């Protein structure tokens, strides 16, 4: 199964990417177009994991997640279950030619604490919508987890800041993101994806995600992930 999407952050940070190697000569706009390209087949996926959120002066918050997703070339549908009680629904419809996707988030009618956003997550983490922000510039390449990265600065369309994203230069998947408020030189929020390993059929699995801000940290460890083309048997 060959995939060429960017599978969105929290719903699928642990999922499997399968881009063929990207050319070192791609212009920034062409590179981002490849990164933003939606899945070109019908598939379904499932992930499970554990969340831990630590904030200064507060008790540690823990949770378990289970996510089931269906992908088509036009959209992503997902259901996320937190601690077997809170159920969140997501729909993301892809734009044309790299345009931002339209996202709908459905919250539980009677959310029980701790809710998903008590873990320091923001809505754009659930959809990776910030990778569609306006391109500003490409910065000098750098390494993340010993991987060569292309670094892009992208501006929030409403003028509320920028995000600096480090993408794998060879395969396009994101490894780090730093958020900056307008006019500030220090990031107020940072993301890191860890444990990217190549598996069968040129697929990539990310084992861990870390988010941190001022006086708080969130860690998500994924213990199971799979994606199957419609009609394929379930993986064991």
Q: What CATH number has the domain spanning 9-229?
A: 2.50.20.10
pLDDT in tens, 196-229: 766 554 556 678 889 999 999 999 888 887 777 7
Taking a C-beta distance cutoff of 8 angstroms, is the pair 156, 133 a contact? yes
Residue ranges per domain, the chain? 9-229
pLDDT (tens digit per residue) in 87-128: 988 887 876 655 656 778 888 999 999 998 888 876 566 567
Q: Which two tokens stand for residue 66?
A: 């289970």
CA distances from 3 to 20, 24, 171, 192 (A): 8, 19, 11, 22
Phi, psi of 117 (to 5 degrees): -80, -5
> Where would I find the H helices in the chain?
9-12, 28-36, 123-127
Q: Is 170 exposed, middle or buried (0-12, 13-18, 19+ CB in 10 A)?
A: middle
Give the span between the Cα atoms of 168 and 151, in whole angstroms.
Answer: 9
**Chain segment 64-83, per-residue pLDDT in tens:** 988 888 878 788 788 889 99
- 28-47 pLDDT tens trace: 999 998 887 766 668 787 88
The model's pLDDT over 133-171, given as tens digits with 9 standing for 90+, comes to 899 999 999 998 778 999 999 999 889 899 999 998 887
């Amino acid at each position: 199964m060959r995939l060429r999407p960017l599978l969105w952050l929290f719903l699928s940070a642990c999922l499997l990417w399968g881009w063929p190697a990207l050319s070192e000569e791609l212009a920034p706009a062409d590179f981002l177009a490849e990164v933003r390209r939606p899945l070109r087949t019908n598939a379904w996926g499932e992930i499970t994991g554990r969340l831990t959120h630590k904030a200064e002066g507060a008790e540690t918050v823990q949770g378990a997640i289970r996510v089931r997703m269906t992908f088509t070339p036009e959209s992503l549908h997902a259901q996320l279950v937190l601690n077997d009680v809170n159920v969140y629904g997501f729909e993301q419809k892809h734009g044309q030619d790299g345009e931002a996707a339209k996202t709908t988030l459905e919250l539980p009618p009677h959310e029980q604490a701790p809710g998903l956003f008590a873990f320091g997550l923001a809505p754009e983490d659930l959809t990776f919508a910030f990778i569609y922000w306006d391109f500003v510039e490409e910065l000098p390449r750098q390494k993340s987890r010993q991987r060569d990265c292309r670094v892009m600065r992208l501006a929030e369309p409403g003028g509320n800041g920028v995000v600096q994203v480090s993408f794998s230069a060879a395969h396009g998947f994101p490894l780090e993101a730093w958020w900056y408020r307008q006019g500030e030189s220090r990031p107020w929020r940072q993301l890191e994806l860890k444990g990217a390993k190549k598996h069968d059929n040129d697929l990539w699995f990310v084992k861990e995600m870390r988010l941190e801000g001022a006086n708080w940290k969130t860690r998500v460890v994924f213990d199971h992930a799979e994606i199957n083309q419609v009609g394929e048997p379930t993986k064991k």
